[in-house]
């Protein structure tokens, strides 16, 4: 075991020594050869360091094109997705007719996809990924990667649906904390249903709207009470029409009874 550790250490030292010599060398052909070698060995840290320099050294040549492409991939494989987006975008701009342009355009979306966060967080990168993949599919409709792009777009759309649902729930749960959050819940839930009509949360969002209107009506100032009660009643009829077997039917019927009882005085 001790001999194995020593041997491994010697190999690593030799490797580091070789890399340092390549790094300091002015022989750019050697650097290019070693950069591709490191890349194939999946030593992306060393490969990226050399490739970054070679992009400008070989500017205007086929080597610059390949160095740029593999540099962007090295960044992606090191999980530096922010930088990867930038260099894949730049590649597409500089080399639109390259054999790698199609894949680079796909990788713009893939890099954004990797940055797409938990649904509870800001979804800017999710929107950027969807936009990038849609552009890719428009540019390359016959690409073998269209199916993968579609799958990722669908996954991210579901994330946006859930984010929209969470926003509406948040306002509803805040209630009257620091103001009337029920109205914000109604607006947010309606926007969610308009944007994502096939959401699996449709029934819950629809009841959230009904219940929010009901709570506002029951706590209304006198001059707005009748209007709010009738608006709640209209929402009740729409709800039971859309979801006649809803799991919320007991609560919905209680709302109906309370509202019709209060409307008798008008």
The number of residues making up the chain comes to 266
For 195-262, give the DSSP string: H-TT-TTHHHHHHHHHHHHHHHHHT--HHHHHHHHHHHHHHHHHHHHH-TT-TTHHHHHHHHHHHHHH
- Nearest CA-CA partner of 137 in 129, 146, 128: 146
**Whole-number pLDDT of residue 14:** 46
**Whole-number pLDDT of residue 214:** 95
**Whole-number pLDDT of residue 16:** 61
The answer to whether the CB of 83 falls within 8 A of the CB of 99 is no
**Whole-number pLDDT of residue 134:** 97
For 25-80, give the DSSP string: ---HHHHHHHHHHHHHTT-HHHHHHHHHHHHHHTTTSHHHHHHHHHHHHHHHHTT-
Collapsed DSSP state (helix, strand, coil) of residue 3: helix
User: At residue 26, what are phi and psi to the nearest 5 degrees?
Assistant: -105, 10
**Whole-number pLDDT of residue 3:** 46
Q: What is the pLDDT along the chain (266 residues), one digit of tens a residue?
A: 554 443 443 344 445 678 888 888 889 999 999 999 999 999 999 999 999 999 999 998 889 999 999 999 999 999 999 999 999 999 999 999 999 999 999 999 999 999 999 988 999 999 999 999 999 999 999 999 999 999 999 999 999 989 989 999 999 999 878 778 999 999 999 999 998 898 889 999 999 999 999 999 998 888 888 999 999 999 999 999 999 999 999 999 999 999 999 988 87
Could you give the maximum distance between any two Cα atoms of the chain, in Å?
95
């Amino acid at each position: 075991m001790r001999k194995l550790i020593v041997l491994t250490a010697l190999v690593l030292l030799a490797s580091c020594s070789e890399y340092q010599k390549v790094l300091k060398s002015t022989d750019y052909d050697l650097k290019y050869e070693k950069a591709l070698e490191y890349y194939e060995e999946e030593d992306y840290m060393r490969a990226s360091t050399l490739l970054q320099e070679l992009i400008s050294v070989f500017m205007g040549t086929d080597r610059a094109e390949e160095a740029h492409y593999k540099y962007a991939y090295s960044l992606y494989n090191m999980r530096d997705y922010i930088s990867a987006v930038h260099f894949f975008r730049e590649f597409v701009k500089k080399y639109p007719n390259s054999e790698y342009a199609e894949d680079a355009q796909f990788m713009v979306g893939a890099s954004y996809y990797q940055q797409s966060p938990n649904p509870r967080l800001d979804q800017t990168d999710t929107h950027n990924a969807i936009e990038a993949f849609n552009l890719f599919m428009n540019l390359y409709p016959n690409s073998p990667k269209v199916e993968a792009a579609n799958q990722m777009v669908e996954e991210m759309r579901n994330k946006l649906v859930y984010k929209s649902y969470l926003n509406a729930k948040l306002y509803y749960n805040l209630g009257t904390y620091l103001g009337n959050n029920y109205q914000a819940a109604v607006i947010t839930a309606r926007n969610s249903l308009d944007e994502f009509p096939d959401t699996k949360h449709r029934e819950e969002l629809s009841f959230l709207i009904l219940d929010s209107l009901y709570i506002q009506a029951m706590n209304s100032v006198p001059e707005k009470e009748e209007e709010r009660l009738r608006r709640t009643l209209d929402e009740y009829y729409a709800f039971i029409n859309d979801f006649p077997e809803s799991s919320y039917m007991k609560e919905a019927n209680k709302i109906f009874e309370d509202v019709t009882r209060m409307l008798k005085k008008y």
